[in-house]
Amino acid sequence: MDLLGKALLSGDRLRLLLMFFHAIAQTVAEQEVENLSGLSTSPGKDIFVVRENGTTCLMAEFAAKFIVPYDVWANNYVDLITEQAEIALTRGAEVNGRCGHNESELQVFWVDRAYTLKMLFVKESHNTSKGSEATWRLSKVQFVYDTLEKTHFKDPVSAGKHTANSHHLAALVTPAGMSYECQAQQSISLASSDPQKTVTMILSAVHIQPFDIISDFVFSEEHKCPVDEREQLEETLPLILGLILGLVIVITLVIYHIHHKMTANQVQIPRDRSQYKHMG
């Protein structure tokens, strides 16, 4: 075999080796993105983990559903009627994601990729009177839905895929190095490519950390949302007031008991002067 033939053979082998290693790299990358919804105690909640270099870099646990308006023909086939589909993020969804120093993204696909949720997180620094402070937030949400999917959509007029996006979003704002936790429901409005339609995304039982995870598979200290803090205060306030009232009653009874005892030990001066001679 001449030198040219050997060179071509070597080139083919090199390409095959590169393709082989590329396939291995893709497999490893896929193995580092996991859906751990089976560990959740709630049947409607998913747990997603993105790992890079064998270390957790993004964790997200939440329940989500989408209220999607769509048009159908009225019985006269002239007028349009707007119906609403309620689409829940189902357990066992496919997940993808990426991590960065200042930007991370979570992607979730379900029902044979008829539905796609993308959540983009950014970390920023702000100058305050106390110095520079870093926070992270949910900066963008994109929801892709296919109205040809018959489980949730029945005879839609504009059948096909539509994309709904958030605008100027600053949600789940959290100090850097902490996780965000909120049990209360939160709604985010998304403008749809289906004309004049607004999709509502409803999140609940949220626990997310897209940056600065210290321990593998473990959330950092929680930053609770204002709604949860207010509800917690409303729950504990009656208990605190009850304890204060009980303490006041106990103190009052103790003072009364002490006063009564001191009064009983005092010498009683007779009111009848004829009894004075018996004293002393």
Q: Which residues of 170-182 are buried (b: 16+ CB within 10 A; e: fewer)?
A: ebbebeebbbbbb
Q: Containing domain of residue 252, as a range?
A: 225-262
Overall residue count recorded for the chain in this entry = 280
Answer yes or no: do 127 and 215 share one domain: yes
Answer yes or no: do 258 and 173 share one domain: no
Answer yes or no: pTM beyond 0.85. no
Answer yes or no: do 94 and 213 share one domain: yes
Residue 4 lies in a domain: no
Residues 6+ apart with CB under 8 A from 209: 58, 59, 60, 178, 179, 180, 219, 220
Residue 48 lies in a domain: yes
HSE, CB side, 13 Å, CA atoms: give it for residue 262. Answer: 6
What is the model's pLDDT at position 135?
A: 97
Please state the φ and ψ torsions of residue 11, each to the nearest 5 degrees.
Answer: -65, -40
Q: How many domains does the chain have?
A: 2
Answer yes or no: do 145 and 175 share one domain: yes
Residue 279 lies in a domain: no
Taking only the tens of pLDDT, the chain with its 280 residues reads: 554 444 434 555 545 444 444 444 444 444 377 777 656 666 778 899 999 988 999 999 999 999 999 999 999 989 999 999 999 999 889 999 999 999 999 999 999 999 999 999 999 998 877 778 999 999 999 999 999 999 999 999 989 999 999 989 999 999 999 999 999 999 999 999 998 999 999 999 999 999 999 999 999 999 999 886 554 444 454 555 566 667 767 777 777 777 667 776 665 555 555 555 555 4
Answer yes or no: do 113 and 164 share one domain: yes
- The secondary structure of residue 151, as a DSSP letter, is T
Answer yes or no: do 156 and 241 share one domain: no
Helix (H) or strand (E) holding 87: strand 80-88
What is the model's pLDDT at position 203?
A: 97
Answer yes or no: do 100 and 204 share one domain: yes
What is the model's pLDDT at position 232?
A: 47
What is the model's pLDDT at position 108?
A: 97
Looking up residue 107, the CATH number of its domain turns out to be: 2.40.160.110
Among the listed residues 49, 171, 169, the one whose alpha carbon sits nearest the alpha carbon of residue 99: 49
